[in-house]
Amino acid sequence: MSKAIELEQLRKVFRVRERTHGVLGSLRGLVAPRTREVVAVDGVSFAIAAGERVAFVGPNGAGKSTTLKVLAGILRPTSGHVRVAGLEPGRDRGRLGYRIGAVFGQRSQLWMHLPAADTFDLLARIYELAPGEYRARRDELVRAFEIAEICEKPVRQLSLGERMRCELVASLLHRPEILFLDEPTIGLDVVAKATIRDLVRERGRRDGCTVLLTSHDTGDMERVCERVLVIHRGRLLLDRPVDALRKSFIPRKRISVVSEEVELALDLPGVRRLPSAPHRTELEVDLRAVGVDRVVTQIFARARVLDLSVEDPPMEEIVTAIYAGASADAAT
């Protein structure tokens, strides 16, 4: 299979100017700025085959976005070898532009005061699409993303989820071979997150498009991707199929219950009580010992439940688990 993305020993070092105080300090800063080096990406290597959907996860500040920006040609690597769609992003940004699409969760490419459809028309010019081909593609995407009415309203009136659907359509119009998504579900509610995840997965499959998404939400990688790269402090910690990761590193769920009873006691194996408050019980469930369904059934049998939620443990905890696991891997 051909490689969509190849990365060898990528290093990216930022020189950050030290903040100086006072007028004199900032004057001195202008003449001879005091700088300090920050290693954002420290020797990361991986390859992604065409058509793969890969999640790039890690806690905030791990180096995900930096790597993504290097791949998209926005940042130049300090050292290392990078190839995207057979091109060198830093040097061939112009040509690469036609072949990749990108959505930056917090930076809109849509014109706020206009309907998204108008941005689509402009993008047709930017990517030099033939009118007939453009219309067919747009109509197909508008149907698939169910934005026929949404894309006729001014963008500023849309909800975050609706806007994100329009952003995705905007980045897919030119049939990119590779789609970069930087925190595509950030700030969305549960339903909107689920919708976006389904759409991205389906679209990737249908177009045969390579997807690389960054996220610090484990849900994004579980629902969208086949493979996951975990990055922490600028280093690649782990490269696994999502299934394998789930089994070995996300074996736990968090359940929190609000009940009329002051306290709630369960007697199932693999259920651990975390520090709780009166009427609010926090549980950690080891999925290798017991299924979530059995735990929930017992909770409902024993208590009058006012509220209940099931969540994945936060990313930071998974990274800690992976750290422990990775050193165990290395030992064997």
Considering CB under 8 A, how many residues would be counted as binding other proteins? 51
Residue 296: CB minimum distance to other proteins, A: 40
Element (H, E) at 79: strand 79-84
99 versus 223: smaller Cβ distance to other proteins? 99
CA distance 10 to 42: 7
Can you tell me which of 83, 88, 127, 226 binds other proteins, judged by CB under 8 A? 127
Q: Does 41 bind other proteins (CB under 8 A)?
A: yes
Specify the stretch interacting with other proteins by CB under 8 A; choose among 3-11, 108-116, 266-274, 287-295: 108-116
Whole-Å CA distances, 124 to 51, 127, 138, 144: 24, 5, 10, 19
Question: Which residues are CB-contacts of 60 (< 8 A; sequence separation ≥ 6)?
Answer: 216
Q: Does 21 bind other proteins (CB under 8 A)?
A: no
Specify the stretch interacting with other proteins by CB under 8 A; choose among 92-100, 247-255, 261-269, 295-303: 92-100
Amino acid at 61: G
Burial class (CB in 10 A: 0-12, 13-18, 19+), 98: middle
Cβ pair 140, 207 in contact under 8 A: no
CA distance 330 to 317: 20
Question: Which residues are CB-contacts of 267 (< 8 A; sequence separation ≥ 6)?
Answer: none
CA torsion sign for 29, 34, 40, 42 is positive
Q: Does 94 bind other proteins (CB under 8 A)?
A: yes
41 versus 299: smaller Cβ distance to other proteins? 41
Q: Does 262 bind other proteins (CB under 8 A)?
A: no
Q: Does 100 bind other proteins (CB under 8 A)?
A: yes
Specify the stretch interacting with other proteins by CB under 8 A; choose among 35-43, 132-140, 265-273, 316-324: 35-43
Q: Does 206 bind other proteins (CB under 8 A)?
A: no
Binding mask 42-81 for other proteins (x = CB under 8 A): -------------------xxxxxx--x--xxxxx-----
Residue 243: CB minimum distance to other proteins, A: 29
**Among the residues of 3-74, which ranges form H helices?**
22-31, 64-71
Residues that bind other proteins (CB under 8 A): 12, 14-17, 38, 40-41, 61-66, 69, 72-76, 90, 93-98, 100-102, 104, 106-109, 111-114, 118-119, 121-123, 125-128, 154, 180, 234
